[in-house]
Amino acid sequence: MFHSQLDLFTHVASAYAEAAGGALDNSGLYSALMDRLGVPAEVANAKVPVGTAGQAHSLWKRRVRFTQQSLKHMGIIERRGRTRGVWTLTEAAGKRLNKAAREVKLVAFSTKLGLCMWGSNSDGLSGLDEPISLIVTSPPFPLQKPRAYGNPSQSEYVEWMVRSLEPVMNRLAPGACIALQISNDVFEPGSPTRSLYRERVVIALHDKLGLYKLDEIIWLNKSKPPGPVQWASIKRFQLNTAYEVVYVFTNDPSRCKADNRRVLEVHSRRHKALMAAGGEARTTCYGDGAYRLREGSYRVETEGKIPRNVLDIGHRCADTLAVRRHADALGLPAHGAMMPTRLPDFLIRYLSEPGDLVLDLWSGSGKTGLAAERLGRRWLMFELILEYARTSAEMFRGFDGFCLNPLLAGVGNAA
């Protein structure tokens, strides 16, 4: 799925993590990588003319040293004392809240169906060589009081969203969908009026990226805490909030991959009785003829009921509780805004087919990948915060082919 340079980041970091004392000189690193990757000595040592001077160098060793320097900039390795050519894992690697720098592209963990990258989604997609069928993601909201992981301001949000999605556009399969969950509860500073940033995002994604709005799904969450406190409980201008919004876009409406037959619900007892009785026994119309009910309507037995575009899903979730337990066990901070797994589960079933590739650009607690794994979809997630990636990895243990980057094994109390 990815160019070998991305894999090399993982193998070089792992070589240091597995070395005695976490330290290796360059010759030891080359030897360890040759063993891990099965690189023949003649390939590793082969030299070719490089540059205008035409000096002979090993291209394979140059790539290893490039990766080594990248890990240095990421704060993962450092020189041991003044010894030239000997590098070691930094004491701080995995011991603080680590937000990946722009050049970071490190596999955090993987299964047979997918992988989670610690790093910037804008850079990490460069090695992707297959089409994306679906994006299910919840980006940071433009909150006035930022969460621990940070977020763009309201004034820069629209352009930030366009920049974030732009690298994905030429990697989307024809008819691919993007399910974008963003907040309805963003207000103008010092005012009870809601921000129009949502509407601006929708228009910008259409005008600048050529996306079409397929639907606006309401995520009804009756367990949301009362608020906004200032405008609902104190000033009394507003009603308490109870929903979030999921915008569904597609790049090609004529080939859209959405199919409501994959999310049909069980018919009500009344509807089943109506079908068994041969359908409606009356003929009438409503709304000046806009809707006509004919005798025999609803007599055909169908597989199920088409869901409404309002999803009544409470925030309480067994997976969320499990993520928090894992975070506590590791001594790491839990993500502060976890969605219930039922939401990405529904969206993935509705908007993709088994075997499709599902992408989450801001994975957080990893719920999109978790739902995709359970549904037999391939998945790819990006997460900037190392601690969040490490914690979400625990949710994937037991899945076929699970592999945790050895470098992450030392993050938290599990060291």
What is the pTM (predicted TM-score) of this model?
0.76
Residue 117 falls inside a structural domain: no
Separation of alpha carbons 189 and 209, rounded Å: 29
Is 391 within 8 Å of 319 (Cβ atoms)? no
Domain assignment of residue 283, given as a range: 266-305
Residue ranges in the chain whose pLDDT is less than 50: 1-6, 92-97, 414-415
Contact 198, 182 (CB under 8 A): yes
- CATH number at 13 reads 1.10.10.10
pLDDT for residue 148? 54
Instruction: Decide which of 78, 93, 108 is a domain's last residue.
Output: 93
In a domain, 152, yes or no: no
Considering the domain boundaries, does residue 9 fall inside one? yes
Q: Quick one: residue 127, left, alpha or beta (phi over 0 = left, psi -120 to 50 = alpha)?
A: alpha
Contact indicator for 118, 110 with CB cutoff of 8 Å: no
Whether 33 is covered by a domain: the verdict is yes
Q: Is 414 a member of any domain?
A: no
Report yes or no on 300 lying in a domain: yes
**What whole-number distance in Å separates Cα of residue 404 and Cα of residue 410?**
11
Q: Into how many domains does the chain fold?
A: 2
255 inside domain: no
Give residue 295's pLDDT. Answer: 81
The H-or-E segment that residue 330 falls in is helix 318-330
**Do 116 and 55 contact (CB within 8 A), yes or no?**
no
Residue 84 located in a structural domain: yes
Close Cβ partners of 305 (under 8 Å, ≥ 6 residues apart): 264, 265, 266, 267, 268, 271
Domain end call among 305, 328, 353: 305
Q: Dihedrals φ, ψ of 383, to 5°?
A: -145, 130
| Residue at which a domain ends, from 254, 288, 305 | 305
